[in-house]
Chain A
Amino acid sequence: MSSAMLELILEATLDTLYMVALSGAVSAVIGIPLGVLLYVTRPGQILAQPVAQRVLGIVTNIGRSIPFIILMVAIIPFTRLVVGSSIGTNAAVVPLIIAAIPFVARLVEGALNEIPPGLIEAAQAMGATPLQIITKVLLPEAKGGIINGLTITVVTLVSYSAMAGAVGGGGLGDLGIRYGYNRFDPMIMLITVAILVVMVQGFQSLGDRLVRKADHK
Chain B
Amino acid sequence: MIKLDGVSKTYGAGPTAIHALKNIDLEVPKGAIHGVIGLSGAGKSTLIRCVNLLERPTEGHVIVDGQDLTQQDSEALRQSRHQLGMIFQHFNLLASRTVFDNVALPLELMGVSKGEIRERVGPLLDLTGLTDKATQYPAQLSGGQKQRVAIARALASRPKVLLCDEATSALDPQTTASILELLQDINRKLGLTILLITHEMEVVKSICHRVGLISDGELVEEADVGDFFTAPATQLGRDFLNAFLELEPPQVLVERLEEAPGEHTHPVVRLAFSGANVATPLISRLARDSGVDVSILQAKVESIQGRTLGLMIAELIGTPEKTSQALSQLESHDINVEVLGHVQRDA
Contacts and interface: CB of A to CB of B under 8 A. Distances in A.
A127 B97 contact: no
Contacts of B54: 121, 124-125
17 contacts: A118-B90, A121-B92, A122-B92, A123-B105, A125-B54, A126-B86, A127-B78, A127-B79, A127-B106, A136-B105, A136-B108, A136-B109, A140-B94, A140-B97, A143-B96, A216-B139, A217-B139
Interface core residue of B108, B109, B157 (most chain A CB under 10 Å): B109
Contacts of A119: 92, 94
Contacts of A217: 95, 139
Nearest to B97: A140
A123 B109 contact: yes
Contacts of A214: 96
A128 interface: yes
A201 interface: no
Nearest to B79: A127
B277 to A, nearest CB: 45
Interface of B: 52, 54, 77-82, 84, 86, 88, 90, 92, 94-97, 105-106, 108-110, 137-139, 153, 157, 163
A150 B163 CA distance: 39
Contact of A125 (B84, B95, B97): B84
B84 A128 contact: no
Nearest to A124: B54
Interface in A122-154: 122-129, 132, 136-137, 140-141, 143
Interface of A: 116, 118-119, 121-129, 132, 136-137, 140-141, 143, 214-217
B96 A141 contact: yes
Contacts of A123: 105, 109
A128 B84 CA distance: 13
Given A125-B86, A126-B157, A140-B97, A118 B92 contact: yes
A125 B52 contact: yes
B309 to A, nearest CB: 36
A125 B137 CA distance: 22
B6 to A, nearest CB: 23
A67 B214 CA distance: 57
B78 A129 contact: yes
Nearest to B108: A136
Contacts of B108: 136
A105 to B, nearest CB: 21
Contacts of B52: 125
Given A141-B95, A217-B139, A125 B81 contact: yes
Interface core residue of A136, A140, A216 (most chain B CB under 10 Å): A216
Contacts of A116: 90, 92
B96 A132 contact: no
Nearest to B87: A122
A128 B74 CA distance: 11
Contacts of A125: 52, 54, 81, 84, 86, 163
Contacts of B138: 216
A141 B139 CA distance: 13
A9 B74 CA distance: 60
A127 B81 contact: yes
B109 A128 contact: yes
A120 B306 CA distance: 40
A136 B102 CA distance: 11
A125 B164 CA distance: 12
Nearest to A119: B92
A118 B88 contact: yes
Contact of B82 (A121, A127, A143): A127
A137 B90 CA distance: 16
A105 B105 CA distance: 27
Given A124-B54, A136-B108, 13 more contacts: A118-B88, A119-B94, A121-B54, A121-B92, A122-B88, A122-B92, A125-B52, A125-B84, A126-B82, A127-B77, A127-B78, A127-B110, A143-B96
Nearest to B106: A126
Contacts of B95: 141, 215-217
B298 to A, nearest CB: 42
